[in-house]
Structure 1
């Protein structure tokens, strides 16, 4: 006996969404239907593929081995469906997008939503390490990542290059200047993202190499939280230039020590190239 299309689709969706309830919502079926598909898949495989936990699901070894195949199976099934229906129009679908910073991801999503209003979009911010992990695990359709790790199974297209700058509230002492050095931040509280972030890695190394110890280091979870902390006057923070929409209450200041340019890229698992959804996103990127 072989697994059915419904079972493979349900399993792959549960893994990508992180829970049975979210998968059921996305596929438009009941949670019990998803659970039945998973149970039948496990009976066919002769092994448990996932463990249900309070905060989501955890893949077993058998599940980890099966997921890449299930994802490829679903991609092929989708390609066949698209071919049979023709390519005249983009029908309703769901595109999963992640990024390690709000911009340029949100700008592209805005343009995409205007051009393809029938497509639902799931967008989440992750730190760099988590974003790369989700791409490697095939849990996303599109990722927008700064300095992604190259791989033979990933399509990578550069979008823009940027260097790190300092963000300070307009009434901060440093906001009076247009250019500073890393030594200028030493008397102040510096806000950095948590471990796993490219920013945390780059800025921590730059500070250490320069022998600089700010008066206090504060770590925050995500870019929006860091930005809000700066607006609340907690400290100053380092971000890639143009990481967000310009904010009148924040000053973007050049740092002479941080001249390296970093590339932000569109990253797509290669087996998803050719799908109407991913191709339509690339169409917007290249417009």
Structure 2
């Protein structure tokens, strides 16, 4: 017996949604049906495709190979449905968006929501390394990523460039400076995003290059949390300039050792980039003025 279309679709959605129950909800079927489809596919393959645990599911090595095929099948199935339904398919649907920086993503999502108010949007922020991995593994439809790696499998549209700055309280003695150097920050507590973030990597590389170490650092999961920590007097945050409205009330000062501009781009697997909703999101994001 050959594996059928429904088995591959169920498997792909379990991986994309992270659990059997979430996949069932997205597909509008029972969890039992999804479980049976995946079990039958695994039987046909002759090897487990998923590890089941309390946190959800993860792919086995065999599962990684089959997921790529299954997800491409789902994408093709969606493209066919769009052709059959025409622009009515744009009035509903679902799009999964990820990003490693909040401001460009949230502005694009806001504009997209105004154009397509009935589309379900699933959005999450991740560290740079996680966001790029999820896109490489086809776990999201589209991503807004700073300095994304080059890939022939991705559609890539640049939307803005920014440099890193120090975020300080207006009362800080350093707030009136036009430019800061690493040596000015060695007596300060420096707030950085979590390990695996682009910012953490860029700052660490610059420290090694210039031979300067920050003795006191705090790592945090998100930019809004970093800004709140600055407001509370916990330290000085290093992050890309103009990264969110949450930073209003803080002073942004450029840092000499972090003078390079970093590109943020909209990224999508090439086959998904041709889907109407994903294409519409890319067009909206690339049309925004982030100055």
TM-score by length of 2: 0.93
Aligned residue for 2:251?
251
The question of whether the paired residues in 1 share the 8 Å contact of 2:227 and 2:247 is answered with no
1:1-287 to structure 2, matched below 5 A, reads 1-87=1-87, 90-245=90-245, 247-287=247-287
Unpaired segments ≥5 residues, structure 1 = none
Q: Give the C-alpha shift of residue 49 in structure 1.
A: 1.2
Point out the more displaced range, 17-26 or 132-141: 17-26
1-structure distance, mates of 2:222, 2:274: 32
Larger helix fraction of residues: 2
Unpaired segments ≥5 residues, structure 2 = none
Q: Give the C-alpha shift of residue 28 in structure 1.
A: 2.8
2:258 alignment partner, SS class: coil
Point out the more displaced range, 62-71 or 225-234: 225-234
- Change in Cα spacing, 1:228 to 1:28, as seen in structure 2 (3 Å) is farther
1:110 alignment partner, SS class: helix
Greater than 6 Å deviation, 4+ residue runs: none
Give the aligned length: 287
2-structure distance, mates of 1:73, 1:230: 47
- Encode CA deviations 1:44-85: one digit per residue, 9 max, x unaligned: 323221121011112122211100000010111111111112
Point out the more displaced range, 277-286 or 117-126: 277-286
The question of whether the paired residues in 1 share the 8 Å contact of 2:102 and 2:243 is answered with yes
1-structure distance, mates of 2:29, 2:176: 57
Q: Give the C-alpha shift of residue 175 in structure 1.
A: 2.2
2-structure distance, mates of 1:3, 1:109: 37
2-structure distance, mates of 1:231, 1:139: 35
Q: Give the C-alpha shift of residue 163 in structure 1.
A: 0.5
TM-align CA RMSD:
1.7
- Encode CA deviations 1:224-261: one digit per residue, 9 max, x unaligned: 32222222211111111111126333111122332211
1:95 alignment partner, SS class: strand
Q: Give the C-alpha shift of residue 33 in structure 1.
A: 2.2
- Change in Cα spacing, 1:232 to 1:26, as seen in structure 2 (3 Å) is farther
Q: Give the C-alpha shift of residue 198 in structure 1.
A: 1.0
- Change in Cα spacing, 1:73 to 1:178, as seen in structure 2 (3 Å) is same
The question of whether the paired residues in 1 share the 8 Å contact of 2:227 and 2:246 is answered with no
1-structure distance, mates of 2:284, 2:80: 23
1:156 alignment partner, SS class: strand
1:103 alignment partner, SS class: helix
Point out the more displaced range, 215-224 or 99-108: 215-224
Q: Give the C-alpha shift of residue 88 in structure 1.
A: 5.6
2:103 alignment partner, SS class: coil
